[in-house]
Amino acid sequence: MTQKTIAIVGTLAESLVGFRGELIKDMVAAGHIVYAFVSEMTFTQQLRILELGATPIRYSLSRLGINPYQDIKTVHQLYTLFRKYRIDVSFCYFAKPVIYGTLAATLAGIPLRVAKIEGLGRPFTPPPNGFSKKQKILQNVQVFLYRCALRFSHHLFLLNPDDKRDLIDKNHIRTGQVHLINGIGLNLNHYQFQAPVTAPVRFVFIGRLLNEKGIWYYLQAAQALKEAGYRAECWVVGAPDQGRDAVSPELLKQKVHEGIIHYTGKVDDVRIPLKKSSVFVLPSYYREGVPRSTQEAMAMGRAVITTSGPGCKETVVHQKNGLLIPPHDPQALFNAMKAYINHPEWIIQHGAAGYQLALQRYDVKKINQHMMQRIGLATVVLPPKQVADVTPNRIPNVAKERSKTESAEYTD
């Protein structure tokens, strides 16, 4: 395997550094030349990309708009840049970069074209009352564009089997080799096991404060716990969102005033609230790939409550490392949260099991090596990893073991 010149094509520099930084470092360490294509970038973010070993390149992309003229300009600009930097491999992720980046790479004659779709997003997210006409139109447009672009990709990476079924198989989209991987992965040296808090039982929601992420259902369940007299804490972590589906700052303030939630706002390091938590909660019905927030919680030894929807269900083995609930079911969420209060030993057991699953599934080094090998890129040899001892004699006992705990119904 020889040195390649690789274009990683995304959108925001912030997400590229945060979610693609480890991949860039692994590609550079293997001797490849990497160009990071982003549509928005600050000077500080430019320096961070350079520190990763890549060369930052800005290009024009309308992330949210639907303007054919602007999109054609994006394809032409990427085509010109690919030719200028003599790119050997295009690695495009997120919907618009996958579509327009792959088309530009094809026109530029790039010999190896790779696409990565990390969830189907809002057009494929089912609201409580079913898909609207607008959503169905957007689905059809997106499927058409994917059909146009993916036929020219040599490799397509997806994060869960539901996306393959609902996008590729159902719509008979022709593409190159399709690979399923376990999320984007984590640096497990950064997210390390921490014994969970058990007194008080403390639930934590971390993410965008959008209804489709399940925040409204979480607030409902938190209020139900308080009204039922349970002395648990419910934390909300995340910046107020400006989206049309966002929970308002006024509502958050009201819930704080009523003693229903503890609201931290945005934090720069999610490990801090996770370290102080008992159980991570993500009642999302958004069309996820594999939620990074859930992976982070598992890597730190937290039990997880999430939904049985696409992407989310890939992170939890029910009653092993967490509890799965149906989407759009606040009563089931309340029951699941109540179960961890009634069975505090589950916090320990499920958290330890989740940590072991994170080691098996979400090591970013292993995921990156797997992707690079699949597309024929040179890789580096991985050193053995030291793991925390989370056997029962090394973690706190919060209740006597009960022989029937694992089989008990979580709705009690």
Domain edges within the chain: 5-180, 202-360+390-407
Provide the CATH number for the domain formed by 5-180 in this structure. Answer: 3.40.50.2000
Q: Cα–Cα distance between 307 and 333 in angstroms, integer?
A: 9
Helices (H) and strands (E) in the chain, counts: 14, 13
Identify the pLDDT of residue 65.
66
Q: What is the dihedral of CA 100, 101, 102, 107, to 10 degrees?
A: 90
Identify the pLDDT of residue 300.
98
Identify the pLDDT of residue 59.
97
Identify the pLDDT of residue 406.
34
Partners of 281 in beta bridges: 305
Sign of CA dihedral 67, 72, 73, 77: positive
- In the predicted model, residues of the chain with pLDDT beneath 70 are 1, 64-65, 383-412
Whether residue 200 is preceded by a cis peptide bond, meaning omega within 30 degrees of 0, is yes
Half-sphere exposure of 267 (CA within 13 A, CB side): 15
Provide the CATH number for the domain formed by 202-360+390-407 in this structure. Answer: 3.40.50.2000
Nearest to 214 by CA among 319, 105, 128: 128
Identify the pLDDT of residue 398.
42
Nearest to 232 by CA among 396, 345, 354, 342: 342
Cβ contacts of 138 within 8 Å, gap of 6 or more: 123
Please say whether the beta carbons of 312 and 294 come within 8 A. Answer: yes
369: left (phi over 0), alpha (psi -120 to 50) or beta: alpha
Identify the pLDDT of residue 44.
97
